[in-house]
Structure 1
């Protein structure tokens, strides 16, 4: 009889070990699954490509929406550099009158216009003499467009 007792103890130890191992695997799978779902929620939707062209004539900067999804200018931010130097005053789009700019921008950059900027539409503004550096012929102008903090497009041109 002592021999049967030993045999029964060994069998139950293996069973308990197997149950603990399966339980550990279930907990580990739950932790990995929760981490994967948390990571999936934290990722942002991909941004659809947007194509903008830039032209500069005299002190006027014109951007044309060439392709991509419509943009809401109320959430856009422009950052302009001239030969690598940022403008002293960046345009606060949409606006009508702002420091460093002549009043009355055109298209969706004007606060009185439809804020939805669609393919084919132009938007422009003119720098005032109080903004620096000036847009003289031959300077390299780079316009970076952000939707909140997400880059949307970059346009480069040489002022004429």
Structure 2
């Protein structure tokens, strides 16, 4: 009678005790303990590897350069002079130009030779034929084409921002002559 079906030759009573006086298969409980210990060990090892990898990435990251620029605007021509700070790699920079707080419709893809919204042949590090490293004392200029807007009028406030990745490294502005 008792509790459930039993296979032939099974010597367990209704409580699960076998006729030898103990619980059934003790190796199942030991297997669970071993599995928990192994999983904990693997977790610790994995966490160590991931943390070590992230630390290595942080050590290899290039520091963001710092620089100061002077901006001059004469008509539609913008001239930036690197006045102080680290050399800048023009290939890693993005430039945003605004006139009276309105971004230009076509932004300069520095360095470039010919681009929509700009007269061809910028000077200095803005030109693809120049050394891409922009150092203290060097000037670079570009001229807006008539196809770009807004136009620069005498008295307009012109702002130039330089970014490396998503970090702004330079902001400079001046009043157009």
With normalisation by structure 2, the TM-score equals 0.67
Write out aligned runs for 1:1-160 (5 A).
46-160=63-177
Show structure 2 runs of 5+ residues with no match: 1-47
Count of equivalent residues: 142
Show structure 1 runs of 5+ residues with no match: 1-32
| Greater Cα radius of gyration, structure 1 or 2 | 2
Residue 53 of structure 1, CA deviation? 1.0
Instruction: Flag the 1:62–1:143 CA change in 2: closer, same or farther, 3 A.
Output: same
Residue 47 of structure 1, CA deviation? 3.0
Residue 149 of structure 1, CA deviation? 1.8
With normalisation by structure 1, the TM-score equals 0.73
Instruction: Flag the 1:99–1:48 CA change in 2: closer, same or farther, 3 A.
Output: closer
> In proportion to residue count, which structure has more helix?
1
Q: Distance in 2 between matches of 1:122 and 1:89?
A: 22
